[in-house]
Copies of this chain bind each other. A is one copy, B any other.
Amino acid sequence: MVKVGVVGYGVIGQRLADGVALQKDMELVGVADVSPTLAIRALKEKGMPYNFYLGMPENLHMFEELGIPVSGTLEELVQKTDIILDATSAGVGAKNKELYAKYNRKAIFQGGEKNSVADVFFHGYANYEKGLGKQFLKLTSCNTTGLIRSVDCLDREFGIEKVAITIIRRVADPGDYHRGLTNALQIDKAPSHQAVDLMTIMPHINATGILVHTPVTHGHIITVVATPKKKISKEEAIECFKKHPRIRVVRIADGFLGNASLFRYARDLGNPRGDMYEIALWEESVVNSGDDIMYAINIPQEAVTIPETIDGIRAALMMQPDRISATSETNKYLGMGKWIQK
């Protein structure tokens, strides 16, 4: 059993912990953070299903006052694990890396860190083999992770030369008060970092894109104009997407009108927190533009990177030798692709 620790128990960290806890071949040793946030209070109210380690010992009294049991320090957690999933705020991971290196532990960082923090910039489906045995991996960010799923899916079947993307970005997560936008769209300097990141992971593809922030919380939408080696029909593209265990092809006609329908559906499915690990792709969005294929996907920003991060554990610790066997294990324990109709 591979021993895993999660450092940073925020939006991503909580979901990483839950995702690891579902993997039958992994053990979640514990989670770490620095102060009694609402997430920690919820952990306490749930009865401490995970052990908690404290990253800032001077705050111990806060936890004692609240009756939250502390199992040790961050340093102790690191020592007890084979690999750390670092989901701290951007920049903190680079500092924590020294601790992981001190004990010669492996670690996977999230998209907020700089690429230089890691030996490899990683995506479970697109470049699993590059992560094999590496000490430090960095995951693609939420948009890039979902985007690459769809582009890699087409690329492996048809060959893709070029993509031009438009990211309609949700600006905050539900419950965020430290950031937000009110009645405004905001545009970033092009090309968007997601397009650049895609080229880092898939260097044979030319990519560019524009990102626009929108005042919503329930998932980004990305439109993709993909130029294939030879024309792909709409039907072929849809068929290809439908077979991917981390892509859910949905229909407007069935009631999936936008990102908020998907969130509601996930809540009604009983998914914890109403989360979705899969991206959704709207069947009625797929159109040909000359020989290019254009389509729209939904990125559930809170949970979409969890499967690929778990793939990263498999790569770093060489649990499986290749992308197919590794992602299959991750998918099985996360219940991904169950919606695919045989």
> B-contacting residues of A (Cβ < 8 Å)?
14, 37-39, 41-43, 45-46, 161-162, 164, 166, 168, 170-177, 179-191, 206-210, 212-219, 221, 223, 225, 227, 252, 254-261, 263-265, 267-270, 272-274, 282, 284-290, 292, 294-296, 338-339
Contacts and interface: CB of A to CB of B under 8 A. Distances in A.
Contact of A180 (B46, B189, B215, B264): B215
Contacts of A265: 38, 41-42, 175
A225 B215 CA distance: 24
Given A176-B260, A294-B164, A185 B289 contact: no
Given A174-B260, A274-B274, A296-B210, A255 B38 contact: yes
B208 A260 contact: no
A66 B14 CA distance: 35
B190 A284 contact: yes
Identify the 4 closest CB pairs spanning chains A and B, nearest first. Answer: A175-B264, A184-B260, A42-B268, A183-B183
Nearest to A42: B268
A258 B184 contact: yes
Contact of A216 (B45, B162, B214): B214
Contacts of A296: 187, 190, 210, 212
A223 B190 CA distance: 11
Contact of A268 (B14, B185, B207, B270): B14
Contact of A175 (B184, B190, B208, B338): B184
Nearest to A255: B38
Nearest to A36: B254
30 contacts: A38-B254, A38-B261, A38-B268, A42-B270, A43-B268, A164-B289, A166-B168, A173-B264, A174-B260, A174-B264, A175-B267, A176-B184, A177-B181, A177-B260, A180-B181, A182-B216, A182-B217, A184-B216, A184-B259, A185-B216, A187-B221, A187-B257, A187-B258, A187-B296, A189-B284, A190-B287, A208-B287, A208-B294, A214-B215, A214-B216
Contacts of A225: 164, 225, 289
A223 B165 CA distance: 9
**Interface residues of A, dominant DSSP:** mixed
A258 B190 contact: no
Contact of A185 (B162, B174, B260): B260
A209 B224 CA distance: 10
A231 to B, nearest CB: 13
Contacts of A213: 258
**Quick one: which of A43, A162, A177, A208 has the most chain B CB within 10 A?**
A177
Contacts of A186: 177, 257-258
B182 A252 contact: no
Given A45-B339, A183-B260, A191-B287, 19 more contacts: A41-B265, A42-B265, A43-B268, A161-B290, A172-B182, A174-B264, A175-B260, A176-B184, A176-B260, A177-B257, A184-B260, A185-B259, A187-B221, A190-B287, A208-B287, A214-B215, A267-B274, A270-B272, A273-B274
A252 B187 contact: yes
A272 B261 CA distance: 17
